[in-house]
Amino acid sequence: MNLSPEKKIAGVLVPLFALRRENDLGIGDLAALREFIEWVAKSGFKLVQLLPINEIGGDNSPYNTISAMAIEPTTLHLAPGSPEDLTLEDFDSALAEVDLPDLRRGPVKYPRVKTLNRHLLEKAFSRFGDCASEDRQSKFRKFCEEERAWLDDYVFFRALMEENGEKEDWDEWPPEHQSIETARNWFRELPLDRQSVFAGRQSFFRYVQWIAHEQWREIKSFADERGVALMGDIPFGVSYYSADVFSRRAEFALDWCGGAPPEPYFKEDKFTQKWGQNWGIPLYRWDKMRSRNFDWWRQRVRGVKQIFHLFRIDHILGFYRVYAFPWRPRRNKRFLHFDWNEMLGQTGGRAPQFTPRDDSTPESCETNRREGEEYLRIVLQESGSTRVVGEDLGTVPDYVRPNLQSLGVAGFRIPQWEVYHGRVTPGREYHRLSVATYATHDHKPIRKLWEEAVERVTSTSDQARNELNKIAEFAQFHPGNELVSFGKDFYPAIMEALFACDSWIAVVMLTDLLRRKYRFNVPGTAANFNWTRRVQRTIAQLSSSRTVRGQMRLIRGLLEKTGRC
């Protein structure tokens, strides 16, 4: 697929878990993605942007995964014959005791969804072991050999998780399990029958990843055939409690946690406003990674480019410097009430700060730029012809965007944030090597901003009104004193302005496309609804809705008018 910035295109950002199809198993999966690709392609979109697809942990966050390489099993399409080893008899027996209408209703119910997913994959694996042809067995062995650099450590960690009741917090496991060296010694000392069982569990997790890679490569080919590019996502960090940290501990600094500095934008969370966002991700020991030729990063890039046509690096600023906390997120609530001196008293004098250095001097800026470029060149070297996009939002040093552009990495433009000296930057001045969007998965949809600013007074009304005014300025929307309708007046104007900007890619978040106001994530919070919200209607229902069809005709007309279709 030719993805040249010379040809402007448009895409839709969608969290896969949020999609619905008629016969899903309580979560958006690859069958739903297949339907979605066909639906948006008919409206002229050429790209679907997804969140990270790596295996999630207990907080359900796709940005805090238990593996930087392994694919989340609940993304798989599970049905009779998918995978080939799953029979109708086994499928029906697994679903016999499941209340599917309730499972499908409302948000994702992760514990129940994961249990059903595991049950179905166990049945498929059992059939595979007993009945698979030599050809399929050979393909499985080939996958295991090709991916063994990360797969062997991952399946060992995953089996240990299961041994410890699916608890991912490896520092709370029995002492003999808390490092990969002692855990392997523990395994070798097990009786032979226990070794066989444990090895069998590792084979199961290998099988799941094989099926996952097969299905995801198939969806890439499917999107290809419909002229739609898939954009993947690599989180800058990985969970403290991941297979990667567990097996490669020397490459991570575990006494600091990466995050983002304080900022006033996310007013929902007092800790974020006071101290910043503490994501809990361990920092990288770049010197150790360099000594191994950055093989871990190379593996990540190789994995994502097998499945996606291009990929986004979340928080690409982290390559240059990271805002770090000297305490784990579980202590955030305690630190919320401390002043600066009290905080220092609790941390032994260590304060949240940029590391390895801040940008307070020209020398520091230049060193950060040089080191960040070194690390990014490794990513670009491994990505080859696969295009790379960098999420460069937040507190952005002056040297970052020019450096990304020199490397051929497209950065982001949020129109309401592109304000300099009181002037909203017009879309015609956007650098072609950029991605323009009004919102990411972390932001309020425009319909929500409208509700807060126009339709009712809330504690965030002033902020919402300010953002809408900037969006209106970007769109050159000046209705005077006339009564303005969101759907008939404001929405078409701002969508046209977004598509008309000079950025290579214009992305619309799914909620903005459908003019909805719900959110998928509120940064800095551990709210139960984060990463669980689903679209209310199935893709088939959206396709048949007269109202939605009218909205999509409007969008297609704007895409054609602005040359993105």
- What crossing angle do the helices spanning 192-225 and 295-307 adopt, rounded to 10°? 50
Closest CA to 462 of 470, 471, 451, 453: 453
Residue 264: what pLDDT?
Answer: 66
**376 φ/ψ angles, rounded to the nearest 5 degrees:** -70, -30
- What crossing angle do the helices spanning 192-225 and 110-131 adopt, rounded to 10°? 100
- Please tell me the number of Cα atoms within 13 Å of 299 on its side-chain side: 18
**283 φ/ψ angles, rounded to the nearest 5 degrees:** -80, 160
Contact indicator for 532, 60 with CB cutoff of 8 Å: yes
- For residue 529, the 8-state DSSP code is T
- Please tell me the number of Cα atoms within 13 Å of 159 on its side-chain side: 23
Residue 270: what pLDDT?
Answer: 85
Q: Which two tokens stand for residue 521?
A: 């994530």
- For residue 453, the 8-state DSSP code is I
**What is the chain's pLDDT, residue by residue, as a tens digit (565 residues)?**
789 999 999 999 999 999 999 999 999 999 999 999 999 999 999 999 999 999 999 999 999 999 999 999 999 999 999 999 999 999 999 999 899 999 999 999 999 999 999 999 999 999 998 888 999 999 999 999 999 999 999 999 999 999 999 999 999 999 999 999 999 999 999 999 999 999 999 999 999 999 999 999 999 999 999 999 999 999 999 999 999 999 999 999 999 999 999 876 656 678 988 999 999 999 999 999 999 999 999 999 999 999 999 999 999 999 999 999 999 999 999 999 999 999 999 999 999 999 999 999 999 999 999 999 999 999 999 999 999 999 999 889 999 999 999 999 999 999 999 999 999 999 999 999 999 999 999 889 999 999 998 877 666 788 899 999 999 999 999 887 678 899 999 999 999 999 999 999 999 999 999 999 999 998 766 667 899 999 999 999 999 999 999 999 999 999 999 999 9
Closest CA to 427 of 490, 497, 477, 504: 497
Query: Using CA atoms, how far apart are residues 492 and 9, in angstroms rounded to an integer?
Result: 18
In order of 13, 141, 309, 466, 550, the CA distances from 46 in angstroms are 12, 36, 11, 32, 20
Q: How far apart are the first and last CA of the chain?
A: 16
Q: Which three-class secondary structure state does DSSP give residue 408?
A: coil
Closest CA to 113 of 99, 132, 127, 133: 99
Do the bridges between strand 252-260 and strand 277-284 make them parallel or antiparallel, or are there none, so unpaired?
antiparallel
Query: Using CA atoms, how far apart are residues 368 and 392, in angstroms rounded to an integer?
Result: 15
Contact indicator for 204, 211 with CB cutoff of 8 Å: no
Residue 141: what pLDDT?
Answer: 97
Element (H, E) at 412: strand 411-413
The pTM (predicted TM-score) of the whole model is 0.95
**143 φ/ψ angles, rounded to the nearest 5 degrees:** -60, -45
Residue 457: what pLDDT?
Answer: 65
Query: Using CA atoms, how far apart are residues 93 and 47, in angstroms rounded to an integer?
Result: 38
Query: Using CA atoms, how far apart are residues 414 and 394, in angstroms rounded to an integer?
Result: 11
Residue 459: what pLDDT?
Answer: 66
Contact indicator for 523, 96 with CB cutoff of 8 Å: no
Residue 394: what pLDDT?
Answer: 86
DSSP 220-245: HHHHHHTT-EEEEEE-SS--TTSHHH
Report H helices in 84-236.
88-95, 100-104, 110-131, 134-146, 148-163, 180-188, 192-225
Residue 524: what pLDDT?
Answer: 65
Q: Which two tokens stand for residue 147?
A: 């991916």
Query: Using CA atoms, how far apart are residues 477 and 486, in angstroms rounded to an integer?
Result: 12
Which amino acid, one-letter code, is at 74?
T
Q: How many C-beta atoms lie closer than 10 Å to residue 185's C-beta?
A: 11
